Amino acid sequence: MEYQIKFIPQGRTLKVRPGTSVLRAAREARVFISTRCDGHAGCLMCKVEVEPEHASALTPPSDAELRKLGPLLDQGIRLACQAQICGSAEVRLPEDPLKAAIRKQLERQKENDDLW
């Protein structure tokens, strides 16, 4: 049995076996997710977002996720290194903070250019 996981916004889809971590699936799909702890829930860099309709396609939060993410779990945030796939799902990767800052600056600049 295999499940399908789709990474948003990259649009990459991959079939994986049950129990595969989201981080491992991302690596197999060649989707980059930052991590420093090599999947031990130590760095909290591998946060991903799962919409409520896909939440049941991942295993329940591990003890490490419960301790480290707390209320973020209610917002659909999971650690890719801890969440394991147990159904077909879509996972959203947050925008890189540096890219987000550059995008916001360019948007502000464009708004100012429109004024002139």
Report the alpha-carbon distance of residue 102 to residue 114 in Å, rounded. Answer: 18
Spatial contact of 92 and 50, defined as CB atoms under 8 Å apart: yes
Please tell me the predicted confidence (pLDDT) of residue 61: 95
Report the alpha-carbon distance of residue 14 to residue 36 in Å, rounded. Answer: 24
pTM: 0.82
Spatial contact of 5 and 25, defined as CB atoms under 8 Å apart: yes
Residue 28's identity, in one-letter code, is E
pLDDT tens figures, 1-39: 899 999 999 999 999 999 999 999 999 999 999 889 888
pLDDT tens figures, 52-111: 999 999 999 999 999 999 999 999 999 999 999 999 999 999 877 777 788 888 888 877
Left if phi > 0, otherwise alpha if psi is -120 to 50, otherwise beta: which for 13?
beta
Report the alpha-carbon distance of residue 86 to residue 110 in Å, rounded. Answer: 44
pLDDT band at 112 (very low <50, low <70, confident <90, very high): confident
